[in-house]
């Protein structure tokens, strides 16, 4: 079995978490590491009173995320990671993979941006969405009407993120691009079969 880091990349709202869960069922030996989990843990532990404090915790979270990736690679675990990756993360991930002799696979999920904005909006308003993502001030236990959250993305800011951060061009290693504008038309079984040939089996 080839030591592998699978990066589930692409725009927000493309179903990366759903695909990550599917991959874990097909490749149960792999470990899932999500940057958002570190962010949410730090937000709950420390809280933040403004965007500067929030950003400081985000930087802390990225350091912890990379440390966890390195720990798993040191232990020779294969890894799945889901995030709208951009050039900000490219070099660090590339260096980690090279140092530990891992192959990189990128699954880049794309879709029509108007459709994605509606999905992102619905996701942000969902009860299981961590409030830290949509507030400029957060402490664990606080409640808020989600529609009134002060850091919800506007359509204009969503488009700006999607067109300036390189989500649609990010790739490391072998690339698979999947259009998820219509989830019902995605052939996940074919993707899983191709991944199995790359990763190998026990």
Residue given tokens 């950003």 in the structure block = 55
Q: What is the pLDDT of residue 200?
A: 83
Q: Tell me which DSSP letter residue 154 carries.
A: P
Residue 87: pLDDT above 60? Answer: yes
CATH code for the domain in which residue 122 is found: 3.40.50.300
- How far is Cα 142 from Cα 44, in angstroms, rounded to an integer? 10
On whether the CB atoms of residues 166 and 148 are closer than 8 A, the answer is: no
Cite the DSSP H helix spans in 75-179.
87-99, 113-125, 155-164
Residue 202: pLDDT above 70? Answer: no
Model confidence, pTM: 0.95
Write out pLDDT tens, residues 129-162: 999 999 999 999 999 999 999 999 999 999 999 9
Domain count for the chain, please give it: 1
Mean per-residue pLDDT of the chain = 96
Q: Which two tokens stand for residue 7?
A: 């990066």
Write out pLDDT tens, residues 96-125: 999 999 999 999 999 999 999 999 999 999
For residue 170, the enclosing domain spans 4-199
Residue 78: pLDDT above 60? Answer: yes
- The terminus-to-terminus CA distance of the chain in angstroms comes to 6
Ramachandran region, residue 201 (left: φ > 0; alpha: ψ -120 to 50; beta: rest): beta
Q: What is the pLDDT of residue 201?
A: 64
Stretch 159-182: mean pLDDT, rounded?
97
Q: Which two tokens stand for residue 191?
A: 């993707």
Q: Tell me which DSSP letter residue 138 carries.
A: B
């Amino acid at each position: 079995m080839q030591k592998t880091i699978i990066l589930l990349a692409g725009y927000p709202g493309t179903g990366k978490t759903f695909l990550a869960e599917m991959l874990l069922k097909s490749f149960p030996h792999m470990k899932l590491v999500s940057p958002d989990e570190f962010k949410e843990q730090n937000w709950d532990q420390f809280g933040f009173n403004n965007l500067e404090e929030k950003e400081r915790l985000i930087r802390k979270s990225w350091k912890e995320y990379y440390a966890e990736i390195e720990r798993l690679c040191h232990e020779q675990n294969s890894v799945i990671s889901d995030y709208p990756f951009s050039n900000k993360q490219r070099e660090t991930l590339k260096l980690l993979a090279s140092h530990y002799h891992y192959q990189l696979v990128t699954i880049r999920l794309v879709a029509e941006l108007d459709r994605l904005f509606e999905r992102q909006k619905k996701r942000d308003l969902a009860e299981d969405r961590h409030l830290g993502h949509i507030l400029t001030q957060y402490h664990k236990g606080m409640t808020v009407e989600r529609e009134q959250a002060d850091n919800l993305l506007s359509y204009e800011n969503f488009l700006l993120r999607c067109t300036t951060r390189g989500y649609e061009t990010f790739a490391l290693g072998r690339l698979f691009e999947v259009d998820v504008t219509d989830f019902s038309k995605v052939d996940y079984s074919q993707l899983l079969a191709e991944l199995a040939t790359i990763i190998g089996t026990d």
